[in-house]
């Protein structure tokens, strides 16, 4: 794959990831849509879109596993409920910080050891997270932050489980098909709080069909041409894109606390990743 094609696919994938944050936040802040319904519409529409893509591409059906489907559901549900109270920028920062922390922790558990600048990076990222969550006027709501951190851990687990499982499109389709009924059960359990309107439904469907289903397929198409360090590092651009989108499209404010925390968290994680993959 040429460099230009890889760069184009990667850029489109990062825009799709950031757009998920903006679509969810817009639906829950500016429409009457409830979080459970957003989750259900996102996963069901994404499952249908992926099933169609796989069917047209190979004539086969989805693969995947129930455990990965559960991780996908936990991510999607935590993501939606967290954005009921979190701004787009803070939510994306917490989400991708937790994703990277989960993948780094898995590396430690698998026997990798960090030293020098890597340890400094871990401490810097942890300090940024603590600074972001400390009580104060500009701190994000604690419950929403906890939900987003849980969503990030679930997405990290989902990503780790997806390595080497065959055709990414078929695996992703199978996982979505398993996660979708879990979301339907969630909506049934919260049916007394269901609230729908046309704009909210449109945003949820756009998140499911375009920025989730198609976005994930684009990302998996780019991954084979990226080094592990590049694939991990490039995702750190998502909170920045989400922050800019939140300001330009949703009228959200950027606080000094968020800027400083972003520099600490993203810089610390990037330092760990770059040092980890630097030749010894």
Domain hosting residue 172, numbered range: 3-276
Radius of gyration of the chain (CA): 18
More confident residue, 252 or 271: 252
pLDDT single digits (tens) 156-203: 888 777 665 567 778 888 899 999 999 999 999 999 999 998 999 999
Task: Say what the pTM is.
Answer: 0.82
Q: What are phi and psi of 86, to 5 degrees?
A: -95, 140
Flag whether pLDDT at 36 surpasses 60: yes
More confident residue, 81 or 123: 81
What mean pLDDT do residues 30-50 have?
A: 95
Pairwise CA distance, residues 195 & 25, whole Å: 15
Q: Report the mean per-residue pLDDT for the chain.
A: 83
What mean pLDDT do residues 241-246 have?
A: 86
pLDDT single digits (tens) 180-190: 999 999 999 99
What mean pLDDT do residues 101-111 have?
A: 77
Total structural domains in the chain? 1
């Amino acid at each position: 794959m040429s460099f230009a094609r890889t760069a184009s696919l990667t850029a489109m994938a990062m825009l799709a990831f950031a757009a998920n944050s903006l679509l969810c936040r817009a639906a829950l802040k500016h429409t009457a849509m409830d979080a459970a319904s957003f989750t259900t519409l996102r996963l069901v529409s994404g499952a249908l879109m992926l099933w169609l893509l796989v069917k047209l591409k190979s004539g086969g059906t989805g693969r995947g596993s129930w455990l990965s489907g559960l991780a996908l559901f936990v991510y999607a549900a935590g993501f939606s409920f967290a954005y009921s109270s979190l701004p787009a920028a803070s939510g994306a920062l917490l989400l991708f910080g937790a994703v990277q922390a989960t993948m780094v922790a898995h590396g430690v558990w698998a026997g990798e050891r960090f030293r020098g600048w890597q340890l400094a990076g871990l401490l810097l990222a942890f300090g940024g997270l603590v600074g972001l969550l400390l009580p104060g006027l500009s701190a994000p709501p604690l419950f929403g932050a906890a939900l987003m951190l849980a969503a990030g851990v679930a997405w990290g687990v989902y990503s780790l489980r997806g390595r080497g499982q065959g055709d990414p499109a078929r695996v992703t389709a199978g996982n979505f098909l398993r996660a979708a009924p879990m979301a339907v059960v969630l909506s049934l359990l919260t049916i007394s709080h269901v609230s729908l309107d046309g704009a909210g439904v449109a945003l949820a469907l756009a998140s499911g069909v375009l920025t989730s289903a198609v976005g994930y397929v684009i990302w998996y198409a780019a991954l084979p041409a990226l080094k592990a360090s590049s694939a991990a590092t490039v995702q750190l651009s998502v909170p920045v894109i989400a922050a800019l989108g939140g300001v330009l499209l949703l009228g959200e404010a950027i606080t000094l606390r968020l800027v400083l925390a972003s520099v600490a968290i993203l810089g610390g994680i990037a330092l760990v990743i770059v040092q980890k993959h630097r030749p010894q």
